[in-house]
Amino acid sequence: MINMAKPQIGDEEKKAVLEVLDSGIIAQGPRVKAFEAAFAAMCGVKFAAATSSGTTALHTALLAHGIGAGDEVITSAFTFIASANSILYTGARPVFIDIDPATFNLNPALIEAAITPHTKAILPIHLYGLCCDMDATMAIAKKHGLVVIEDACQSHGAEYKGHKVGSFGTGTFSLYPTKNMTSGEGGMITTDDAVLDEECRVLRQHGMRKRYYHDELGYNFRMTDIHAAIGLEQLKKLERFNEKRRANAKFLSVNLKGVVTPFVPEGSQHVYHQYTIRVPDGKRDALRTYLQEQGVGSEVYYPVPIHQQTFYVKDLGYDQSLPETERAAKEVLSLPVHPGLSPADLETIVAAVNDFMK
């Protein structure tokens, strides 16, 4: 079976973990600090604060910006549930706008119409490894005095006009094993703002600035040195992993027939966390079944947009139509693109898709 994801763990990660175990400092310590510095450098920002997951990175970043009850955050419903749930955790309300059908990302032309006196932030999601239209998004945020929190959980190292994701607004990343790089579980918050960075560090550590003095409600959202040791080694390999993903994606895009392959806007450097095609004519689910029979894994990210999830409809009262989001949920299919694929795997994927679509 050709799987959708395969964490690339080598001897370097194993050795680094054993060193931590032998060091006596297992929880948050010097490896976390080193990992934060290296991650900030990769993104081209001054600061990075490590957390326990991408979800807690999002939650912490929102809280650090003072977002809470009564506030609205404009975002996309075509994403993993954590992007919107993290807004709910703060007491704020996600306001969903439709996606650009070409990129699957937030359509910036729809942002301004969604702004109300309650709007505090825009939360663009760089889905599948492709950066959103940040020129347009940042210009609107500036005009209306809004905060921008980037959900870069799927796009480590992706670039937009020469700048890395996570360097436009406040960046948030996931380090889950299926991502372009991993620490096992983990997250990062990136920023150039020293005050915001400090607030994130306080929030992840029970609101504690001085040992055992708690001025505000905080959480235990810390990363351990065991996780940071893995992350540090993975970060050294990120560019190589991303190059392999891009080469795999190129092969697929050149050879696949009868499906819509990913679009990369001018000036964007895609890192293909997912290689996502559109399957026309209602054939998506049948193609998926066929691929499974041929030993090719595939996945639908995401079959139910967030505004249509049961809990959002029944408990939160969401009742809106997002036509492009809903169409994408019916048509998208992600194929394996991870760095562990062999040339033979790629040939198998192409042959299986083209055989079905002919």
Interface residues with ligand PLP (CB under 6 A) are: 53-55, 79-80, 82-83, 125, 151, 153-154, 174, 176, 187
Q: Which is nearer to ligand PLP, 328 or 350 (CB)?
A: 328
Shortest Å distance, C-beta 210 to ligand PLP: 29
User: 138 in helix, strand or coil?
Assistant: helix
Q: What is the phi/psi pair of residue 334, to 5°?
A: -95, 135
Q: Which residue has the closest beta carbon to ligand PLP?
A: 54
Q: Quick one: 80 or 96, whose CB is closer to ligand PLP?
A: 80
Query: CB-wise, 89 or 251, nearer to ligand PLP?
Result: 89
Q: Which is nearer to ligand PLP, 128 or 356 (CB)?
A: 128
Q: Choose between 47 and 80: whose C-beta lies nearer to ligand PLP.
A: 80
Nearest distance from residue 207's CB to ligand PLP, in Å?
Answer: 21
**Minimum separation from the CB atom of position 179 to ligand PLP (A):** 7
Least distance (Å) from ligand PLP to the CB of residue 125? 5
Alpha carbon 303 to its chain centroid, in Å, reads 17
Nearest to ligand PLP of 53, 180 (CB atom): 53
Rounded distance, CA 305 to CA 321, Å? Answer: 11
For the bound state, the minimum distance from the C-beta of residue 57 to ligand PLP, rounded and expressed in Å, comes to 8
Q: Are 101 and 324 in contact (CB under 8 A)?
A: yes
Number of helices followed by number of strands (H, E) in the chain: 12, 14
| Residues 6+ away with beta carbon under 8 Å from 279 | 259, 260, 287, 331, 332, 333, 357
In contact, 65 and 57? CB cutoff 8 Å: no
Nearest distance from residue 24's CB to ligand PLP, in Å? 28
Work out the number of other CB atoms within 10 angstroms of the CB of residue 236: 12
**Rounded least distance, CB 30 to ligand PLP, Å:** 23
CA distance 325 to 79: 10
Main-chain phi, psi angles of 328, to 5 degrees? -60, -40
Closer residue to ligand PLP, CB minimum distance, 174 or 276: 174
Residues 4 and 333: beta-carbon distance below 8 Å: no
